[in-house]
Structure formats: C-alpha cells, structure tokens
Structure 1
Amino acid sequence: ALGNLVDFTLLKGQQHDTAGVKPLIKDKEFGALLADRAFDTDWLLLDLEERGSKAVIPPKRSRLKQRDFDKEMYKWRHLIENFFCKLKDFKKIAMRAEKTDESFAANIYLAA
C-alpha cells in the first residue's frame, strides 16, 4: 500500500500487537506481510505460508532455528514507520486526547 493506511484495528493498550493480526488480515489478499520481530510467531508464519503470502519478518534472536527473510524488501518498512510519524503530527492522535475509541478511530481515518 506504499505506506498508506489500508485498515486498522484499535486494540486495548495492554494487549500484544499480534492479538490484532487475525482480524486485520482475515479477508485480505496480499503478496507479503512486512512486520518487525514481535510478529515472528509460528501461527502467523504458518497462516502466511498457507495463504501463499511472503513473510518479511526478521526472526527473533531466541529462535533455535533461524530462518531467512528478504532483507531488501524489509527496508520498505520505513514507509510504515513514516506513516506513524505523520499520524503523530496530529496532536489529538499523538496525545490520545479523545475520550472514546470511536472518536479516536475517526481521527485516525481523517488524518490518514
């Protein structure tokens, strides 16, 4: 998506990021998933393999068997990070100033 927002799921602050992956990718088709080490989980890698999608996720250092990943494609992840930086330019989003989740989500859609 060239660093643009395709979809998002607002999670509770105390949940790990991988908790929101299943509903986010449920009915989507994509060639590759670019993510950081936190998303290096067996269930996600298996799901991506079954879909025929490429997992561009560096392996955790604690993995017993290190696997390869496309380092050149992983460099594109800066587009995602740049998008988050742009979002943080909006004060209400950066400071989480909205009282309800719906208002916060609406601001993210507007800023995107």
Structure 2
Amino acid sequence: MPSGTVADCSQAPLFMEDLEAEAFLADKAYDTNELLDMLKETGIATVIPPVKNRREQRAHSRELERHVIENVFRALKHRREIATRYAKHTASFISFSSKV
C-alpha cells in the first residue's frame, strides 16, 4: 500500500514507544483497540471519544478534553500577532520573542 493511503491511527503506536505523559488526547479517528491497549499498558489516561459504532461505549474525560482545548486556544490567541501578521517589521518580532 502506498504511504499516502495509510491511516494516521495505525502509525501512532510507532511514535509512542517512549512517550511519557499523564494523558493522551485525540479525536475519534484514533479510537483503535491497538492504541487503547498500548495506552492502558503504559498507564497513560485515554481521552479519546469513542466512535458511534463501537460495541462497548467507554467513558472519557470531557473535563480534561475541554481543559486541553481551552489551553490550546489560549496559546494561539497569545501568539496571534505572528499568526495574523500584525508584526511586519524585524523590531516587532524581536519584541515578541522577549514576551514569550
């Protein structure tokens, strides 16, 4: 199978061999038995909503999911001056790097 047609969820366990984390947050596309088993073995909390057609619907932490999403948006808003190109001069970028 060409590499462009491989699903991300099937490759995730390869990149997670030495992962040290308290929780793993992902969307429904990563709801695979292989990944869930790997996370359970390593003791990492799983924050992946189950797909609708899963026989046994498992619970996931909506509070943790919401917390992480809010933190990502907060960080993006903090860095919006680069993302929206408000800083158009070198001096603006230098002043921004001292804020971070």
Same fold (TM over 0.5): yes
Comparing 31-40 with 68-77, greater Cα deviation is found at 68-77
The structure with the largest helix share of the pair is 2
How far off its partner does 1:74 sit?
1.1
Q: Distance in 2 between matches of 1:58 and 1:13?
A: 25
Secondary structure class of the residue paired with 2:64: helix
Q: Out of 50-59 and 71-80, give the one that drifted further.
A: 71-80
Give deviations 1:75-109, integer Å, cap 9, x for gaps: 214628x87xx8xx6xxxxxxxxxxxxxxxxxxxx
2:44 — aligned with what? 53
How many Å separate the matches in 2 of 1:46 and 1:77?
24
Identical aligned residues as a percent: 33
CA deviation vs aligned residue, 1:51-87 (integer Å, no higher than 9, x gap): 000000000000111110000111214628x87xx8x
Larger radius of gyration: 2
- Structure 2 gap segments, 5+ residues each: 84-100
Give runs of aligned pairs for residues 76-87 of structure 1, distance below 5 A. Answer: 76-77=68-69, 79=72
| C-alpha separation in 2, matches of 1:56 and 1:21 | 15
Greater RCO, 1 or 2 (C-alpha within 8 Å, sep 6+)? 1
CA RMSD of aligned residues (A): 2.2
Regions of 4+ moved over 3 Å: none
Equivalenced residue count is 73
